Structure 1
Amino acid sequence: MTSKYTKTIFTLSFMAMASAVFTAPSYASLVEPNYTHEKPYATTPWYESYSHDNYLADQNFITGMRPHHAGALTMSQDYLASDKKASKRMQRLAKSIIHNQKFEILMLDEVEHQINNVDFNTSKDARKAQVATQGLAQRERFIRDAMPSLWGSETDVSEEDVRFAKAMIVHHEGALIMCEQYLDDPRSGNGYLELMCLDILRDQAQEIALMRDIISDYPGNPDDVKIKPSMVHGMDGMMHGDMASDIDSDMASEKPHGDHMSHKDHHKHH
């Protein structure tokens, strides 16, 4: 049976490809829509039927994704501080990564705060519990930065741009893997984190496509631009096996990661 996630991801992927050709994609988040002055600032609790197994899945995801997001911030900050950067689109994307992922870290912190308040001392069975808080974008007056457009090309792409793009592609691939693993985990059941993962799968797949496009505009040979594991921050627990080999491979010609079409059918309670 085709799951609701399979259908959702297929639709999002089609929208991303169609829109990216003509303009900078700016989709509403599935889990935290952009702030608008027309809506109240109040947040609402997100409840689930929540077991200790659900808690373990959520903690495992947050433990990996939070430092991973923090790594994206430091990578982007280091790149923007470099006097060797040149690509306007790459610089805009780096600023968007900082802006958007800072907010996603806040989302993860709020989920962790709520699930740590669930008492499993007397029983590990499922019970109705608050596992997230929705409306954080309203409370923080947060509006997501849109990704730069894929339309057109650049004549000014430097070696530093290519180096950062290659490192960030590897970094984004790690986020896609973590989200796929969470959605496929039979223990997962936090609808808030599930929707956050769908946002990440869509947004970071688009950003990978943009970075590959920027690399393709490099006037030199991208194969000559190498990256080291130390350039990919926040992935200490993932730098092994295939992920480690990707560091030394040709990231400019690497095929997009996965097909994101095998997620189980979750039931949300909100």
Structure 2
Amino acid sequence: MAGRAGVAGWRAAGMLGLLLAGPVSNAALAMVGEGADEGVEPVLSTDYAVMPAGALAARLKADRDYVAGMRAHHAGALTMSEEYLADPAARSPALRVLARSIMHNQRYEIALMDEVARRLAEPAMVVGGLAVQPSATEGLAMPLRYQRYPVPGFLEPFNPSGGAMTVRDVQFAKAMTIHHQGALDMARAYQADPAGRNTFLGLLNVDIITDQTQEIALMNRAVAAYPGDAAAVVVPASMVHGMDGMAHGGHGGAEQGGAHAGHGGSSGMAAPAVAAPPVGRGARHSGHHAH
């Protein structure tokens, strides 16, 4: 991930805080400074959050709630993409590339969040009134053999050669736009939460916000390229997966522009059709938490 210089500076600030707090054991210094020696770049390194001990419970809750909600949300994007690619009516070359990109890149982000959850389950060390909590692992791209799957370029056609986009193509673009807007709301809510201070998750959110904003713009262009009446194409509620349990942003089961959010990967295509929100305006989410 990007931002290693920022993380290194954050580690240094954390170590300074420990030093100012009074005598610190060698073990605590080793924890904070792990992998930070100049000229040494381990394959994997641990991020640690340093905070007042009294803030630990709230910080852990914010991080765990976010990881649980965003992980389930990402899993929903995978099943939405899988269903689209398996549908013979899915014909848009650009949207098919986008679906494969979503599956590949978000599987990696799920792996990152699973590792964050594992580190958050480890005990914190309390020294001089400060808590030192393992919060993430950096460097997972190499052992996971991850290389970013590109999104469709401007030359990738929306309409297939010798044909036109289908209603199913437009439904996928509209449904994934609703889904992406939920992720943006959740990421921004975590960033605004005073307890949401996990640096690694903050950097992950930068990626999520950047990537999914760009993908929404691409899907808006796809809908605009549909030769029929895109406004008349409705999105069955069953096409929007993984919106349950979104603790940050208040999305658990909320109505998503007419498409009910609580589908968690269900594939029932026979659900009643409901109108999707106008593409480009995003979904309207009720019950948004104030952080």
For the superposition of Structure 1 and Structure 2, which TM-score range results when normalised by the shorter chain? 0.7 to 0.9
- Rounded Cα–Cα distance in structure 1 between residues aligned with 2:42 and 2:131: 29
SS in 2 for 1:139: coil
| Farther off after superposition, 248-257 or 140-149 | 248-257
SS in 2 for 1:167: helix
- Rounded Cα–Cα distance in structure 1 between residues aligned with 2:41 and 2:134: 21
- 1:36-82 Cα deviation digits (max 9, x unpaired): xxx97711111111422110100110111011100100110000000
For residue 137 of structure 1, what is the aligned residue in structure 2? 141
Confirm or deny: 8 A CA contact 1:75 1:233 kept in the other structure: yes
- Rounded Cα–Cα distance in structure 2 between residues aligned with 1:31 and 1:103: 18
User: Which amino acid is 1:210 matched to?
Assistant: L
- Structure 1 residue ranges without an equivalent (≥5): 1-28, 33-38, 259-270
User: Which amino acid is 1:219 matched to?
Assistant: P
Confirm or deny: 8 A CA contact 2:94 2:157 kept in the other structure: no
SS in 1 for 2:132: strand
Calculate percent identity across the aligned residue pairs. Answer: 36
Shift of 1:256: 5.3
- Rounded Cα–Cα distance in structure 2 between residues aligned with 1:239 and 1:52: 23
Shift of 1:126: 4.4
Change (3 A) 1:161 1:107: same
- Structure 2 residue ranges without an equivalent (≥5): 5-39, 246-250, 261-273, 285-291
Aligned with 1:202 (options 200, 204, 210): 210
- Rounded Cα–Cα distance in structure 1 between residues aligned with 2:103 and 2:276: 26
Greater relative contact order: 1 or 2 (C-alpha under 8 angstroms, separation 6 or more)? Answer: 1
For residue 18 of structure 2, what is the aligned residue in structure 1? none
- Rounded Cα–Cα distance in structure 1 between residues aligned with 2:43 and 2:72: 28
For residue 221 of structure 1, what is the aligned residue in structure 2? 229
Confirm or deny: 8 A CA contact 1:150 1:213 kept in the other structure: no
Shift of 1:206: 0.3
SS in 2 for 1:138: coil
For residue 85 of structure 1, what is the aligned residue in structure 2? 90
Change (3 A) 1:100 1:253: closer
Shift of 1:164: 0.7
User: Which amino acid is 2:223 matched to?
Assistant: I
SS in 1 for 2:256: helix
Aligned with 1:98 (options 103, 114, 134): 103
User: Which amino acid is 2:66 matched to?
Assistant: F
Structure having the larger proportion of residues in strand: 2
- Rounded Cα–Cα distance in structure 2 between residues aligned with 1:72 and 1:41: 32
Change (3 A) 1:152 1:107: closer
SS in 2 for 1:147: coil
| Farther off after superposition, 71-80 or 225-234 | 225-234
- 1:105-126 Cα deviation digits (max 9, x unpaired): 0000000000011259x99x74
Shift of 1:257: 7.3
Aligned with 2:281 (options 255, 261, 265): 255
Change (3 A) 1:60 1:88: same
For residue 245 of structure 1, what is the aligned residue in structure 2? 258
Shift of 1:231: 1.1
Normalising by structure 1, what TM-score? 0.74
Change (3 A) 1:114 1:239: closer
- Rounded Cα–Cα distance in structure 2 between residues aligned with 1:246 and 1:257: 9
* Pairs within 5 Å for 1:1-270: 29-30=1-2, 42-50=43-51, 51-119=56-124, 126-150=130-154, 154-155=158-159, 156-237=164-245, 238=251, 243-245=256-258, 248-255=274-281
Q: Quick check: which has more Rg, 1 or 2?
A: 2
> Structure 1 segments of 4 or more deviating over 6 A?
none
- 1:9-50 Cα deviation digits (max 9, x unpaired): xxxxxxxxxxxxxxxxxxxx4269xxxxxx977111111114
Confirm or deny: 8 A CA contact 1:216 1:252 kept in the other structure: no
Confirm or deny: 8 A CA contact 2:92 2:157 kept in the other structure: no
Confirm or deny: 8 A CA contact 1:153 1:217 kept in the other structure: no
Shift of 1:165: 0.7
Change (3 A) 1:128 1:239: closer
